[in-house]
């Protein structure tokens, strides 16, 4: 029985020795030298190894290779390793999400600025587009026409002050005099 305990302890020590470089790299977390996909792959492998070690320990305990006292100690250590792996995955996900959010916010802000500048209208659906767009975001048609001229609204000229007012205005915005379609000159 003592031989089994020694063998299990040695296997745990060997597993920790193999995992130490990964754990040390996670602890330092300086500038990323590997890609996000590589980091995720390493973290998932660490998590899976911890879970597999727990399954193996449970199996060994069920078949009687490990005593109840030893099982409690080994299980606590392995659960701590699994929890650390899950925490590292959560940190990675949070950092990655923050970076993605920043990139998306910058892209949205740039698109808002681009749409705020006068651009072209789609000849197919009439949807406004940004100044540099070559295709309509609504229907996908090429945008090749000249910028649309702003249509002039029919206006009324005030007979008292000469100011242009929109058709349908009842009073002049310049002098406050009532406008009537008979007196005002339509332009």
Distance (Å, whole) CA 63 – CA 68:
12
Establish if 126 belongs to a structural domain.
Answer: no
Establish if 75 belongs to a structural domain.
Answer: yes
Establish if 132 belongs to a structural domain.
Answer: no
Number of domains in the chain: 2
pLDDT tens readout for residues 23-47? 666 665 554 445 878 888 999 999 9
Residue 146, both tokens? 């000249």
Average model confidence (pLDDT) across the chain: 77
Residue 13, both tokens? 């020590």
Question: What is the chain's Cα-based Rg?
Answer: 36
pLDDT tens readout for residues 70-109? 999 999 999 999 999 999 999 988 888 888 888 888 887 7
Cα-to-chain-centroid distance, residue 126: 30
DSSP state, residue 122: -
DSSP 1-54: -HHHHHHHHHHHHHHHHHHHHHHHHHHH--S--S-HHHHHHHHHHHHHHHHHHH
Last residue of a domain, one of 60, 94, 116: 116
Establish if 161 belongs to a structural domain.
Answer: yes
Q: Between the CA atoms of 160, 163, 166 and 170, what dihedral angle is there, to the nearest 10 degrees?
A: -30
Distance (Å, whole) CA 22 – CA 36:
15
pLDDT tens readout for residues 132-178? 677 787 788 887 755 444 545 556 788 888 887 777 778 887 788 88
Strands laid side by side in the 185-186 sheet: 164-166, 155-157, 185-186
SS3 132: coil
Residue 181 has pLDDT above 70, yes or no: no
Question: Residues 183, 102: one domain?
Answer: no
pLDDT of residue 114: 65
Question: Residues 86, 160: one domain?
Answer: no
Question: Residues 8, 78: one domain?
Answer: yes
Handedness of CA 90, 96, 102, 107 (dihedral sign): negative
pLDDT of residue 36: 77
pTM: 0.40
Residues sharing a CB contact under 8 Å with residue 127, sequence separation 6 or more, in sequence order: 121, 136, 137, 138, 139
Establish if 123 belongs to a structural domain.
Answer: no
Domain encompassing residue 179: 152-187
């Amino acid at each position: 029985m003592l031989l089994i305990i020694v063998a299990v302890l040695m296997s745990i020590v060997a597993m920790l020795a193999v995992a130490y470089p990964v754990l040390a790299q996670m602890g330092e977390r300086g500038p990323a030298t590997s890609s996000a996909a590589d980091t995720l792959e390493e973290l998932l492998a660490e998590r899976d190894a911890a879970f597999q070690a727990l399954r193996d320990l449970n199996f060994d305990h069920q078949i009687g290779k490990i005593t109840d006292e030893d099982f409690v100690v080994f299980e606590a250590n392995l659960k701590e390793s699994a929890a650390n792996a899950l925490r590292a995955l959560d940190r990675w996900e949070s950092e990655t999400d923050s970076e993605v959010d920043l990139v998306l916010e910058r892209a949205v802000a740039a698109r808002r600025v681009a749409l705020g500048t006068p651009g072209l209208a789609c000849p197919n659906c009439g949807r406004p587009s940004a100044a540099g767009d070559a295709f309509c975001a609504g229907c996908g048609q090429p945008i090749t026409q000249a910028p649309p001229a702003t249509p002039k609204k029919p206006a009324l000229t005030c007979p008292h002050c000469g100011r242009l007012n929109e058709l349908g205005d009842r009073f002049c915005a310049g002098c406050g005099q009532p406008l009537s379609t008979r007196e005002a000159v339509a332009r």
